[in-house]
A and B are shown apart, each in its own frame.
Chain A
Amino acid sequence: MSRRPFVRPVSRTRWYFKHPRYLRYMSREVTCVFIGAFTLLLLCAVERLSEGQAAYESFLAAIGGPWSALGLSIVLIFVVHNAISWFNVTPKALPVQIGEGFLPGRFIVAAHYAVWILISLAVLFFAGVL
């Protein structure tokens, strides 16, 4: 009897359409594009800031307007997606053992959400929004 195992082909470019959980994973991974783009905007702001008031204020004027707002809203959705997906898996990477049991993961996640909210409020307060 001869063996002739059959190897099923795997698509290298479309595998993530095979299951909703893979699409969910890819939606998390593409958040990096938006974080990267926003960081480049931040770098741009610092560059214009270093060139003086006129340069910086023309930068501020350039990022004003509905299209910028739309773009930044999309960026906001993806960076929030990164935050939520990041916090939700923290108990897996950093479990906390107390004696003969583990601290329930939801407490670790909740602590991250609490710190997230506190930091966000602090930044908004410091920035003069609140």
Chain B
Amino acid sequence: MNERMVQLDVLRYDPQVDDEPHFQHYEVPCKEEWVVLDALNAIKESIDPTLNYRWSCHMAVCGSCGMMINGEPRLSCHAFLRDFEGVIRVEPLANFPIERDLVTVADDFIDKLKRVKPYLIPGETRSIDEGEYIQTPAQLMKYRHFSMCINCMLCYAACPQYALQPLFLGPAAITLAHRYNLDSRDGGRDERQQVIATNEGVWECSFVGACSEVCPKAVDPAGALQQVKVASTLDWFREHLLPGDTK
């Protein structure tokens, strides 16, 4: 296997010592087929064991290793070294506070995710004797691509509206709400709309589209949010212009 020296500038921050983050330069012998995460593992194993970062699966499934790589939100397990030239700049995910080195504080996202109730709220309750909630392939296709989200938060790091207005619910949370709203087995749309059809919900989005460009799972959050806007607009006219419906 070919080996070559790869240079990385990694943003370091030690909350007990540093007042602000600073870049540290590393030169790492790397194999041709490695990804950025492999380079970080090599640094931690043989150069600098104090480097902190999150990772788990190494196969773009767990969503833990998101970082800014040359200014772009990427999964570091999905960013091949051979695609980069010169010094690779590695920073923690943008728009989240830095806990330490490349580790960010994800509490805000987790809290928003909980608020949109991203789980099935059955429209009709069935006993076990009555069997499964049946769904046709066509009903599944309606939301399947939105269900591929791995909560990696790259879309939050790419979204300028989240950067400018941290109260914004953000791409992934609203997309997951939409995913369950579209599910034929679900009956929780009214509850979720109370959360997402708000000024700090979908209406903070201005359709920059960056979320969909950086999504490693082709979920297309930007599309989901525009569809939520259309549906919420139809709701509004139904609720305000049709007689009898005072919800």
Contact = CB atoms under 8 A, between A and B. Distances in A.
B57 interface: no
Contacts of B141: 97, 100-102
- The majority secondary structure among interface residues of chain A is loop
A126 interface: no
Among A1, A2, A4, A6, find the residue whose CB has the most chain B CB atoms closer than 10 A.
A6
B16 interface: yes
Given A6-B97, A6-B98, A21 B15 contact: no
Contacts, number: 79
**Chain A interface: which size bin?**
20 to 34
Contacts of B207: 89
A97 B138 contact: yes
A92 B226 contact: yes
Contacts of A6: 13, 15, 18, 20-21, 97-98
Interface string A1-14: 11111111010100
A12 B164 contact: yes
A22 B20 CA distance: 26
Interface stretch (B41-49, B58-66, B195-203, B208-216): B208-216
A116 interface: no
A29 to B, nearest CB: 8
A15 B163 contact: yes
Given A89-B207, A89-B209, A97-B138, A16 B160 contact: yes
A97 B142 contact: yes
Nearest to A4: B15
B164 A15 contact: yes
Contacts of A22: 160, 208, 210
A93 B208 contact: no
27 contacts: A2-B15, A3-B15, A4-B15, A4-B16, A5-B99, A6-B13, A6-B18, A6-B21, A7-B97, A7-B98, A15-B163, A21-B208, A21-B209, A21-B210, A25-B208, A25-B210, A89-B207, A89-B209, A91-B223, A92-B223, A92-B226, A93-B223, A93-B226, A93-B230, A95-B223, A97-B138, A100-B141
